[in-house]
Amino acid sequence: MATTNRKLIFLSCVLSAIAVLVNLVSLSTLQWITARCYSVDGVGETNLIHYGLFQGVYKRNFPVSTVYELQMTCNFGSNVCALLCGLDQESRSDLLKNLFNNKIDTNYTMNGCPTISKYSYALFYENTPLRVDSNTQISKENFINAGVWLSTLIFLILAILFGIVSSALAFFNTVSNPIEYFLSVHSLYYYNSIAFCCTVFYMILFGVVYHIRIFHNIAIYDTLVGSMTSDKTAELGYSYWISFAPLVLYVSSIASLYYRNYLIERDPKHEIVDLDAQGANPNLYLY
């Protein structure tokens, strides 16, 4: 039956493949969140940041303009994540733990953090600490929820995997006619549907954590300790919004398969025989 209307099966293959590519772009780019933050005392220029699920870029204009590379750092025991910088994972984890326990170092500087670009004279100012109150109490609500972050990542990866499976099997069905149900054209409905649902889930999860947490605090060191504020400046970036494209593509892939099935049912040359129906010829066999 897969030999009928192969073009529509191939169309399903292409649509699912494009959806996977968009999911991969979403996973790998750094524009899930774009935001601005300001010094709470009103001194200095606007600082800019954008980040994805794994890392981000922070243009910090204090004391001079320097662009830092931040890494998503999580502590699943405390269920918190933040965008922090450090020479290695251990230093970032220690910093996150101290922030969660309200152990604030008033002499903390970003000296030694990985930088993308900076002016040569910035070397003379990197050791300048921010004005931080050691008595600042950091609320857990200011961090990114680690469970939601991990769930977002898992559902995004699952959407990619099931999209790949759907596209690969659709191509397989254009050149072959497998008899196993899990390899047949009918299985493509399920694989595309699962990829669609996973995409919906990760968009909902990240949308919720953005609305509840990130919209009010972007969870970088400067905003967590209260020296800067990003309240109501954060926006969802294109890395998030392009995820609507896979939703349309997975639905279109399923629609192409339904349309193919519709054409088969209307074609008198493809009569469907119900062998279990009463009066069926018991001597009729399929080879």
Q: What is the pLDDT of residues 81-120, one digit of tens each?
A: 999 998 789 999 999 999 999 988 777 777 778 887 654 4
What's the confidence (pLDDT) of residue 118?
54
Burial of 259 (0-12, 13-18, 19+ CB in 10 A): middle
Identify the sign of the CA torsion 149, 153, 154, 159: positive
- What global pTM score does this model have? 0.86
What's the confidence (pLDDT) of residue 187?
92
Distance CA 146, CA 81 (A): 5
Cis ω for the linkage preceding 246 (within 30 of 0) = no
Q: Which residues of the chain have pLDDT under 70?
A: 1-4, 43-44, 63, 117-135, 267-287
What's the confidence (pLDDT) of residue 281?
56
Distance CA 183, CA 74 (A): 39
What's the confidence (pLDDT) of residue 268?
63
